[in-house]
């Protein structure tokens, strides 16, 4: 982690998604108690759940709102932190992609080596004496059991974010499916081997090959 930033524990600071790389096709994890710093715990955790192929979710309090505390275990319901509506929206958009166009990748697929993605902003804040610096966009690469390839990118923030993708595994023509306040689909072409993606707030996108694999 960058100097001056702190994780709740050493395990959280130095983990990699090894399980997803090796065993996702055998058993899918549930992200109910995933980590994510406050006060954006639910949105960060479920954006990560989305790109890692985990089932999105959270912990409900007595009044039916989501617990926005960063803990492996159960936390105190009060004082409240974060925006419950934003957390619920992130869960909704991830779920919609998993049930739709992303199903063969995020539910049944295999995680691959990540793409080179640039121009990702970093969100910085301080909470309870801890400085945080978290990428505004998370991303991963997948292929289906039939061998089709796609990238996923998730924006957990309340603002539009852009990312520039370089990946030789992408064909010249791709299908861009974005799950945000509405589901959108566009056919795109890489320019100079690059693709710039605009991600609405609290959204997740799938960039799927559609052209001939020989056309790169």
pLDDT value of position 77: 83
Please indicate, yes or no, whether the overall pTM of this predicted structure exceeds 0.85: yes
Domains and CATH numbers, the chain: 10-209 (2.60.40.1180)
Q: Are 137 and 120 in contact (CB under 8 A)?
A: yes
C-alpha pair distances (Å), 138 with each of 60, 65, 162, 192, 202: 25, 25, 11, 23, 12
Distance CA(12)–CA(24), nearest Å, equals 20
Residue 39's pLDDT is 93
What pLDDT is recorded for position 28? Answer: 77
DSSP SS3 for 108: coil
Residues of the chain with confidence (pLDDT) below 70: 1-16, 32-33, 72-73, 211-216
């Amino acid at each position: 982690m960058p100097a001056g930033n702190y994780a709740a524990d050493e395990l959280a600071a130095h983990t990699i998604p090894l399980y997803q790389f090796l065993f996702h096709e055998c058993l899918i994890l549930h992200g109910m108690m995933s980590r994510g710093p406050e006060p954006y715990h639910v949105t960060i955790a479920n954006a990560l759940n989305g790109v890692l192929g985990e089932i999105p979710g959270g912990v409900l309090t007595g009044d039916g709102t989501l617990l926005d505390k960063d803990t492996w275990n159960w936390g105190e319901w009060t004082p409240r932190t974060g925006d419950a509506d934003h957390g619920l929206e992130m869960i909704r958009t991830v779920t919609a992609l998993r049930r739709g166009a992303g199903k063969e990748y995020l539910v049944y697929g295999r995680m691959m080596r990540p793409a080179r993605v640039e121009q990702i902003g970093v969100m910085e804040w301080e909470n309870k004496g801890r400085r945080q610096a978290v990428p505004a966009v998370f991303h991963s690469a997948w292929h289906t059991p039939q061998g089709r390839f796609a990238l996923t990118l998730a924006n957990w923030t309340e603002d539009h974010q852009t990312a520039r993708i370089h990946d030789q595994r992408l064909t010249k023509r791709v299908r861009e499916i974005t799950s945000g306040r509405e589901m959108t689909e566009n056919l795109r072409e890489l320019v100079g081997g690059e693709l710039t993606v605009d991600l609405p707030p609290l959204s997740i996108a799938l960039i799927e090959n559609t052209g001939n694999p020989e056309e790169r």
